Amino acid sequence: EFEKDDDTNFHMDYISSFANLRARNYSIEEVEKLQARLIAGRIIPALATTTSMVTGFVCVELLKYLHKGGDGVHRDLQANLAQGMFIAIDPEGPPKSKTRTIKKKPDPVDHPEYEEEETIATIPADGFTLWDKIVIDAGDLTVQELVDWWKTNHNVTCSAISVQIGDAAMAFYNMFMPGTKKNLPLKMSEVYRKYDPEFRGPYFCPACSLENEDGDEVETPTVIFKFA
């Protein structure tokens, strides 16, 4: 049985450690053990009841998946414990980013009435979801070869490449930053290891700024660059 005030059972050591690990994964402020003890003391039984219910229904959906029931058998569930209401509905698909036209106000202070339309295209052309990926598995390309890869495979111009390393986005290449052009003949892995010498992973996820032939910005799903 959980007891937050008994240090000999190590319950709060476990809870505070794992809570902080999760907080660190999602860049949430971490807490001291005493504060974790105070928070745990405010958890009401209804929270445990709701969590148990949700976990049970998730397990039901997992069993459907393990028994290869197909997409048609899965359901979203809406529940209200106060009213004893349970509603199972067909799940919606994930939101999709599509080619669209947006309106922008270049000078909202002096000319708030003036608007410009800007088209944002996507790769693939019919849009993508959060689950989609573009995997570049052509070996350890140089930065220039990656720029050319976009032109050859998708007919778009790559004007910048950056990679999140730690808390900073490192510019591997930017056509408006002359200092980055020295990276063009270097392998992508070489440039990465300039910023993180200990990196030994088989891939990373570069952010690429892209434009099509009409000069429109092009959005893509997450790009996975494999070099090993």
Beta strand 133-136 pairing with 222-226: parallel
Beta strand 203-204 pairing with 133-136: unpaired
Rounded CA separation 219/228 (Å): 26
| Pairwise pLDDT comparison (10 vs 225), residue with the higher score | 225
CB neighbour burial string for 117-146, b if at least 16 within 10 angstroms, e if fewer: eeeebbbeeebbeeeeebebeeeebbbebb
Residue 70 region by backbone torsions, left for phi larger than 0, else alpha for psi between -120 and 50, else beta: left
Task: Give the model's pLDDT for residue 82.
Answer: 79
Q: Over pLDDT 90: what percentage of the chain?
A: 53
Rounded CA separation 188/171 (Å): 12
Amino acid at 82: A
Three-state DSSP at 161 gives strand
pLDDT band at 111 (very low <50, low <70, confident <90, very high): confident
Lookup: tokens for 133: 């990926």
pLDDT digits (tens, 9 = 90+) for 64-93: 989 887 778 889 988 887 788 889 998 888
Residue 172 has pLDDT above 90, yes or no: yes
Beta strand 96-97 pairing with 128-129: antiparallel
User: 70-74, 83-87, 94-98, 159-163: lowest mean pLDDT where?
Assistant: 70-74
Task: Give the model's pLDDT for residue 154.
Answer: 96
Task: Give the model's pLDDT for residue 72.
Answer: 81
Amino acid at 116: E
Task: Give the model's pLDDT for residue 47.
Answer: 65
Lookup: tokens for 85: 């209401």
Residue 44 has pLDDT above 70, yes or no: no
Q: What integer best gives the mean pLDDT of the chain?
A: 90
Task: Give the model's pLDDT for residue 45.
Answer: 61
Report yes or no: 195 and 165 within 8 Å, Cβ to Cβ. yes
Task: Give the model's pLDDT for residue 46.
Answer: 59
Name every residue whose Cβ is closer than 8 Å to that of residue 151 and which is 6 or more positions away in sequence.
157, 158
Rounded CA separation 149/225 (Å): 12
Report yes or no: 88 and 75 within 8 Å, Cβ to Cβ. yes
Residue 107 has pLDDT above 90, yes or no: no
| Pairwise pLDDT comparison (166 vs 24), residue with the higher score | 24
- Its pTM stands at 0.67
Lookup: tokens for 160: 């910048």
Cβ neighbour number for residue 64 with a 10 Å cutoff: 16
